[in-house]
Structure 1
Amino acid sequence: MSSDASKFRAADQVIRSGIAGGVAGCVAKTVVAPLDRVKILFQASNPEYHKYAGTWSGAFRAGAQIYKDSGTLGLFQGHSATLLRIFPYAAIKFLAYDEVHNLLMPTHAQETNLRRFSAGAISGTISVFFTYPLELLRVRMAFHTIHSSTSGRPTRPSFLQTARLIYSEGAPLKSTGAPITRDLFHTLPLLKFYRGFTVSLVGIVPYAGTAFLTWGYLRATLVPVAPDGRRPRATPLADLGIGALSGAVAQTVSYPFEVVRRRMQVGGLTEPGRWLRWGETVRAIWARGGPKGFFVGLGIGYLKIVPMNAVSFAVWQGMKRLLDL
C-alpha cells in the first residue's frame, strides 16, 4: 500500500471518528436540553428562578414556569449555541480520546486506571480549549430571562446578539489588587469570550478523566477480553448503563468546579466592568450558601448528566459500529 493511500485511510478514519463523536454529543444534548437550561439558571443564581433551587421538585416547577412564560422554545433557549458548540466539542473529545487511548494503551495488557484517567483528561482539555467561546455563548443565552420588548412581545437573545453583547461589555475595572486585565481587554477583546476558562480547564480534568476512567474500567470488568485477545462488542443496553454510571460518578467529583465556572461565566452580566477571580467567586458562593452552595442544582445535574452520558456513550459506540470504526 502506498504512503498516499495510507494517509487517505488515516484521514478518512479521523473524519469518521469525529462524525461519530459529534453526532453522539448532539443527540445526547438535545435529549437533556430543558434540564440543562434549568440547571444553568440554578447554578448562576438567576433571581427569577433561585427560589426553585434546592429540591428535585423545584427543577420541574422551574421548567413549568419557563414553559408558561416562553413556551417550548423557552425550554430550548440557547440550544442553537449548544449544538454549534457540542458537535465540535464532542467530535474533538471522542476523537482525541481514541487517539490518546491508542497511544497510551495500544494493547489491553497496558490498560491501567491511571492511563484511562489520563486519556480522558487530555481529550477533555483539548476539546475545551478549542470550543470554550461557544460554551460561554450558550450559558449567556440560557441565563437570559428578559421576556419583554418595545413591541410587548417576548424576546430571546440570538446567537449573534449575545456575541455582540459580550464583545461590547465594559472594560474591566480594578479587581482585588492591581488593574490586571484592563490593558489586556483593550488589546485582546476576544478574551471576554474566555470568562471562567481557567476553572473550566481545572474542572474538565476530574470530569472527563473520571468519566472515561469509569467507562474503561467498567467495560474491562463487565466485557472481559476473550482468549484470542479480542473484547466482544457490548450491547447498546450495556453501553447505556455503563455510560450512565460513568456520568454520575464524574458529575459528583467535578460539580463544585462547574458551579464556580458558571458564576464566572455570567460575571459579565452581573458585574460587566470586572473580571471575576477564582478566590472572590468561591468566597461569594460560600458566603451565600456555605458548603451546600457548591452543590446547588446537583440533583438536576444527575437528572441531566446520567441520561446525557448514557445516550452519548451509547450513540458514540453505535456510530462507530455504523461507520465501521
Structure 2
Amino acid sequence: MDMPEATALHGHDQSNVVVPPSQAPDNNVSSIAAARSNQTPLGTKTHDKQSLDYILRSGLAGGLAGCAAKTLIAPLDRVKILFQASNPQFIKYAGSWYGVVAAVRDISRSEGVTGLFRGHSVTLFRIFPYAAIKFVAYEQIRGVLIKDAQQEQSWRRFAAGSLAGVTSVFFTYPLEMIRVRLAFETRKDHRYGLRELCRNIYHERLTSYPVIGGLANFYRGFSPTVLGMFPYAGISFLMHDISGDWLRKNGYTNEGTTKSGKPVLWVTAELASGGLAGMAGQTASYPLEVIRRRMQVGGAMGDVRFSGMAETAARIFRENGVRGFFVGLSIGYAKVIPMVA
C-alpha cells in the first residue's frame, strides 16, 4: 500500500473512495481532505460535476497530476519495494536514511539513472484505467445503495466508495503485481522483459498449494491489500478530523465557511492536516503492505513455499521481529507531501 489518493476523477463525487497509498495510482490524502472538510467557501463559483465535459476535464487533470506526483517519487518507491520485499542485494541498507541514499547510489551505478524508474511505466499506465473503473463502479454501486435523498447517509456513501475502491484495485491488480516484480529485479546478467516476466509469473507453482497458478498468480497479496483499506481509512479519517479541528481552534483559517459550516483552513494548514492523516493511516496499514510485497515477490526469489498471509507474516516475524513489518516506512513518510500536494 503506498499513499492515499485524490482520485484522477477527483472532481466527481467520490469523496469516500479510500484506498491505501500503495494501491492507489494517484493520491488518496487529498480526497480524504475533500471528503471531510468539503473545503469550498460559500459563494464560490461551482461547476456542473455531472456533465461529461467536467468529468473528462477533471479526470484528465487529476490523471496528469497523479502521473507527475508518481514520477517525482518513483526512485523512492523502487527503493521502498526493494526494502519491503527483502531483496538480497539491498536489505543490508534498510533501516536508515543513509541506507536509502546508498541504495539509490548503487542502483544508479549498476543500472544507470533509468534503473531508479524500473517498473514506473506500468504505474503510469495503470492510473487512467484505475480511475475510470473506480468512477464507473462508484456510480453503479451508489445507484444501488442510495436510491433517493433519504438514503443519502455517510455510511452508505462510505460503503459505495469502499466497494468501488476494491473493484478498481481488483481489475488493475495484475498491473501492480507486474510493476513490483519489475522493480524487484536487480540481476545484471538477465533482466526480464515484460512478456517474459508475465509468462514466468503465470507458470509459477506454489509448493504449498500446487493447484494454484495461472492467472491467480497475478493476485498474490490481494487479500492483505483489501484488509489494509480498513485501518487506513479509519485512522486517516480520524486523524484528519482531529488535526483539522485543532488547526481551526488555533486560528489557522480564512474568511468564509465550508459547506458543512466549518471555517475554511489555510491551504498550508489543510496540507498539514492531510499529511498527518496520510502518515497515520499509512502507519496503521503498513504491516499489511509489507506482507503483500513479500507475497508478490515470492516466485522471483525462487521461494514458492509461502503463499498465505499467516505464513508470510510468521516468516517476517521470525526473520526481523516486529521491526520487519515497518521496514521502509520512513520512505513512505517522505512521500506524503509530494502526494498530498
Q: TM-score, normalised by structure 1?
A: 0.73
| Structure 2 residue 222 is matched with structure 1 residue 197 | yes
Superposed CA offset, 1:17-66 (max 9, x none): 43344233222211110000000000000000010011122111111111
| Structure 2 residue 202 is matched with structure 1 residue 167 | yes
Contact 1:88–1:131 at 8 Å: present in 2 too? yes
Superposed CA offset, 1:102-151 (max 9, x none): 988x99xx886x778656644432331221111101100000001235xx
Instruction: Describe the shift of the 1:213–1:270 C-alpha distance in structure 2 as closer, same or farther (beyond 3 A).
Output: same
Q: Distance in 1 between matches of 2:138 and 2:242?
A: 15
Deviation at 1:99, TM superposition (A): 9.3
The count of aligned residue pairs is: 284
SS at match of 2:257: coil
Q: Distance in 2 between matches of 1:284 and 1:84?
A: 33
Instruction: Describe the shift of the 1:52–1:228 C-alpha distance in structure 2 as closer, same or farther (beyond 3 A).
Output: closer
Q: Say which of 74, 77, 81 aligns to 2:115.
A: 74
Instruction: Describe the shift of the 1:233–1:162 C-alpha distance in structure 2 as closer, same or farther (beyond 3 A).
Output: farther
Q: Distance in 1 between matches of 2:195 and 2:237?
A: 34
Query: What residue number does 1:320 align with?
Result: none
SS at match of 1:172: coil
**CA RMSD across the alignment:** 3.7
Instruction: Describe the shift of the 1:83–1:232 C-alpha distance in structure 2 as closer, same or farther (beyond 3 A).
Output: farther
Q: Between Structure 1 and Structure 2, which shows a larger proportion of helix residues?
A: 1
Superposed CA offset, 1:274-301 (max 9, x none): 5611111011001001111111111122
SS at match of 1:147: coil
Q: TM-score, normalised by structure 2?
A: 0.70
Structure 2: unaligned runs, 5 residues or longer: 1-48
Q: Say which of 307, 311, 314 aligns to 2:337.
A: 307
Instruction: Describe the shift of the 1:192–1:229 C-alpha distance in structure 2 as closer, same or farther (beyond 3 A).
Output: closer
SS at match of 1:32: helix
Contact 1:20–1:91 at 8 Å: present in 2 too? no
Contact 2:257–2:264 at 8 Å: present in 1 too? no
Matches within 5 A, 1:1-325: 10-90=51-131, 92=133, 121-149=162-190, 156-169=191-204, 171-173=205-207, 175=208, 179=209, 182=211, 184-185=212-213, 189-211=214-236, 214-215=239-240, 222=248, 226=257, 237-271=268-302, 273-274=304-305, 276-304=307-335, 306-311=336-341
Superposed CA offset, 1:162-181 (max 9, x none): 22221232x333x1xxx5x5
Instruction: Describe the shift of the 1:216–1:131 C-alpha distance in structure 2 as closer, same or farther (beyond 3 A).
Output: farther
